[in-house]
Chains A and B, each alone.
Chain A
Amino acid sequence: MKRHIICVLSLFCSTFIFAQSEESTVKKDTTFLEEITVIARRKLSNYRQEKTLSSIDDYLEKSNKITMIKRGNYAWEPALNNMNSERLNVTIDGMQIFGACTDKMDPITSYVDVSNLQKVSVGSGQEGAENGHCVGGGLDLQLPNSKFFDSGLKTSVDFGYETNGNYKTTGLDLEYSGDKFYMNADGIYRKSDNYDAGNNSEVIYSQFEKYNISLQTGYKLSENHTLDANVIYDKATDVGYPALPMDVSLAEALITSVTHHFNSDSTLVNSLESKLYFNTITHIMDDSKRPIVPIRMDMPGWSDTYGFYSKAKIQKHKHAFSLNFNGFYNRSLAEMTMYPNDSNQPEMFMYTWPDIRTLYTGIYAKDVFVLNENKTLSASVRFGFHQNKIAEEVGLESLQIFYPELNDSKNRFLSSFSTDYTFKKEHFDYSFGLGYGERAPSVSEGYGFFLFNSFDNFDYIGNPTMKNEKALEGNVKANYHKNKLHIGIESSYFHLMDYIVGNIDNTLSPMTIGANGIKVYNALAYATIFDVYVNASYAFSKTISVNGTVGYNYGKGSNNESLASIKPFSYLAEFNYNIKRFNAALQLEGNGNQSKYSNFYGEDETPAYAVLNLNLGNELYTKHSKFLLKYGVENILDTSYSTYADWNNIPRQGRNFYLNISAVF
């Protein structure tokens, strides 16, 4: 026995020594498959990000892989690889945060604004599992890094105006940066009236008003240690949802965190980042602005999350390890009170989310191993323990109507694995990856109680007995660039097992007046989702360039029905003109006919469309300040259209002239 131990030990030591003697050629590029959208607001950028004051939603929509599902002009829901919120892991700087609306009217991207963030990192499939479990991918909205620049006080102001919807935006940003202390305060205010679709037809209930303030401050404790604190307060009022029977009178979020950073080149652990966080969301739906409704109702919801994470990075020879230990505790509660038209009858009340407590702890590890100059192999795993508990006795009793044997808590173990191989040469690179991931049903999918979905006009009932949804994925990516030409292809294939979807139960009668029936969440044996994007760009000269992207998506379930919300054939072409301090871009963007729409899941066929946009930008300098002007026309031809991702075919904006002015002092 002893000999065995010695043997193993010496073997271990020898590999260690062997490894040490290798040349250290690790490159920092560990995020190859990740797509990062940098929120470079006050810079001239000729690549699709035209407005300084674009909302987060606008920014995300410009990203290749992300589509935004729209229920109105505000709070769009991001979808990645044709999968939306439940199948994604969306975090704010690694912090878990969950919307408080049972009808997904408040994706968490609606609670932050561009002024809060530095970049959005998009991980497709299991590449997105760093902060939590997902099957479709992960989106991390990253807060700015510490700013010990010693640059003193900097002030910026932004103004924006758009003709369509009389949309006004104002932003103010104050930043003080010393070498041991910094502080950044910013605020942004947005207000829009109803917008007009093509041909000047007003889309009623598409107004919104919101403001967002944030404060970030940091102190350098010593050479290696810093402490940062961040508070974001976001409040939207009077938000209309033209695609839904209700609006939102309040969507309020308080997002707070304290982060400790440790950085050192001389220790084993190169960096250690630990965060404690808390966020709370209040979301109040009401229908008081709607003149005619079958019945008046209030639907408030609350979501509180407490959590932590600790991320370590270890750079050792050819290996770059990262570890992430994290956990959170969430409380989701939503209720519904209906007021009968006959005032003699009492109010009707139910819990739509019966105070569901979710506890999660998990650990993630990733190793990027540089085989040689050209080849990199990486592998990652995540394991976690996930528990749901119904805290409200009334809620448990409610759900026992459907599941008489139901217990108040359910434990799940979740796992995720991925590996990918990257090859890079001067003129081309390619990578392919394999992944396996699991996710627990969301609160709505597991515990929702008569949640009305206006997309297919069904009431949904959660199903706590469902298995974890599992995804097996493969992806390939290849790029070729030579001289002024660039061609890239990117494709993912997902085989999802126990794919969660609502199934019509004909024996049940709907609660919502006018609903078609009841769907109970259940699992298809499997579903497949496939997407492929080809992009190309060519630079004729330093000033003139063109680029274009085409995409194709496919999704089918084991019942041989097309899945819902699968993007049809899409394309985007852009012509750029770019000189010092001025740029211009003309864009053509469109979708093909949605021929593979899912009648079975309540979709109708969305016709093809194409829109033309023109964006211009100027940069001006004075002695002490910089001005940035961005202006243009969206939907130049005033096309009347809606996309597959628009609920109830609510038409999108018609022609819109916009102007953004930014000044930095």
Chain B
Amino acid sequence: MKLKYILPILLFALFLNACSSDDDNNDVEEINEVEGLIQIQEITNTTHTIELFNKTGEFKTGYNAVSIRVKDNTTNSYVENASISWMPMMQMPTMQHSGPNSNIVKEIGKNTVYVGYIVYQMTNTDGSGWSLTLNYSIGGTSFMATDTINVIQNDTQNVASFMGSDGSNYIIAMVAPNDPIIGINDLKVGLFKMESMLSFPEVADYTIMLDPRMPGMGNHSSPNNTDLTYSLIDNMYHSDLSLTMTGYWVLNMKLMNSSDTLLKGEDVTETNVQSSLYLELEF
């Protein structure tokens, strides 16, 4: 009889206790605006240290989302009002070229973090060759920092550069999915035209036809994929990519321009197991 009254009280007490155990000593710490990211490198000049971050802590060929912080070397504080631009550069034996890259903007909701992306379309086998120059201004004063960077060859082909049937050079790079699932993935791809050695603008309104295959298993396809179409929101191409199992997938592609002329790629058939335009994915 008494137990009937005691039991709920006991349970309630337990419940309260369980709820209040965690958040005791959190509010003292500063908010770490790059939490979950790993530093790739610091580029220093006499006045500032520019910290580069991403999720893996290294640059790899293909699409790289980069988070940037600028630290004042004298005050040790992070600059919140910089405007930054960058220029990645690959030194080849006879020439040098850049790669597709975005403008750098302040990350929404953050005070000290700036974000942008760079696509490295190639690298040397030892990771050398690339350098990164940052031009930035703080309160009307311009600064510059530059250093060599290490770009590792990605295991799979997540970027391709090619010449289209229109005579132009293009670069295509996979942006997402980062963590593919067995199921329908949002495939996001960037397409860039090489206008010059230094200029790689995004290409709008083309279509990229998609045919994912598994060469390790009879080159079978998967159902209910859609073709990649251009989105004005992020200037990238989007589609549904369905992956029926984990493993090694080849995303065969055909690139069509806005007037539906085939620029690159072929259909996958019994005799032609792979398109000349493809990206790879492994999970």
Q: A residues bordering B, Cβ < 8 Å?
A: 294-295, 336, 338, 340-342, 345-351, 394, 396-398, 400-402, 404, 449-450, 507-514, 518
24 chain-A/chain-B pairs, Cβ below 8 angstroms: A295-B217, A336-B245, A338-B216, A342-B215, A345-B215, A346-B246, A346-B283, A347-B247, A348-B245, A349-B245, A349-B247, A350-B182, A394-B183, A396-B183, A398-B182, A401-B222, A401-B244, A402-B223, A402-B224, A404-B224, A450-B244, A510-B218, A511-B244, A511-B245
Contacts of B246 in A (CB 8 A): 346-350
Q: Which of A404, A450, A509 has the most CB of B within 10 A?
A: A509
The chain A residue sitting closest to B213, CB to CB, is A509
Least distance between A162 CB and chain B CB atoms (Å): 41
The chain A residue sitting closest to B223, CB to CB, is A508
B158 at the binding interface (Cβ < 8 Å) = no
B97 at the binding interface (Cβ < 8 Å) = no
Contacts of B221 in A (CB 8 A): 509
Least distance between B271 CB and chain A CB atoms (Å): 16
Complex alpha-carbon distance, A419 and B248, angstroms: 57
B40 at the binding interface (Cβ < 8 Å) = no
Do residues A513 and B218 form an inter-chain contact, with CB atoms below 8 A? yes
Contacts of A510 in B (CB 8 A): 218, 220
Do residues A398 and B244 form an inter-chain contact, with CB atoms below 8 A? yes
Complex alpha-carbon distance, A518 and B184, angstroms: 19
- Residue from B218, B242, B247 within 8 A of A401 (CB atoms): B242
B214 at the binding interface (Cβ < 8 Å) = yes
Sort A-B residue pairs by CB-CB distance and give the 8 closest, nearest first.
A397-B183, A340-B216, A348-B247, A513-B218, A350-B245, A345-B248, A509-B221, A401-B242
Complex alpha-carbon distance, A449 and B224, angstroms: 15
Least distance between A395 CB and chain B CB atoms (Å): 8
Q: B residues bordering A, Cβ < 8 Å?
A: 181-184, 214-218, 220-224, 242, 244-248, 282-283
The chain B residue sitting closest to A297, CB to CB, is B217
- Residue from B217, B224, B242, B283 within 8 A of A511 (CB atoms): B217
Contacts of A348 in B (CB 8 A): 214, 216-217, 245-248
Contacts of A295 in B (CB 8 A): 216-218
Least distance between B210 CB and chain A CB atoms (Å): 14
Least distance between A303 CB and chain B CB atoms (Å): 21
Contacts of B184 in A (CB 8 A): 397, 400-401, 404
Least distance between A509 CB and chain B CB atoms (Å): 4
Check A346/B218 contact, CB under 8 A, given A397-B182, A397-B184.
Answer: no
Contacts of A450 in B (CB 8 A): 244
Least distance between B213 CB and chain A CB atoms (Å): 9
Least distance between A502 CB and chain B CB atoms (Å): 15
Contacts of B248 in A (CB 8 A): 340, 345-346, 348
- Residue from B183, B220, B282 within 8 A of A346 (CB atoms): B282
Least distance between A246 CB and chain B CB atoms (Å): 15
Other contacts beyond A348-B248, A509-B222: 19, CB < 8 A: A346-B248, A347-B246, A347-B247, A348-B214, A349-B182, A349-B246, A350-B244, A396-B183, A398-B183, A398-B244, A400-B184, A401-B183, A401-B223, A449-B244, A509-B221, A510-B220, A513-B218, A513-B220, A518-B223
Complex alpha-carbon distance, A518 and B223, angstroms: 11
Complex alpha-carbon distance, A392 and B222, angstroms: 21
Contacts of A404 in B (CB 8 A): 184, 224
Contacts of A349 in B (CB 8 A): 182, 245-247
Complex alpha-carbon distance, A341 and B217, angstroms: 9
The chain B residue sitting closest to A349, CB to CB, is B246
Check A507/B183 contact, CB under 8 A, given A350-B246, A450-B244.
Answer: no
Least distance between B33 CB and chain A CB atoms (Å): 31
Contacts of B217 in A (CB 8 A): 295, 338, 340, 348, 511, 513
Complex alpha-carbon distance, A295 and B222, angstroms: 18
Check A397/B247 contact, CB under 8 A, given A340-B216, A513-B218, A514-B218.
Answer: no
Complex alpha-carbon distance, A513 and B215, angstroms: 11
Contacts of A347 in B (CB 8 A): 246-247
- Residue from A394, A511, A512, A513 within 8 A of B181 (CB atoms): A394
Q: Which of B184, B217, B248, B283 has the most CB of A within 10 A?
A: B217
Do residues B218 and A294 form an inter-chain contact, with CB atoms below 8 A? yes
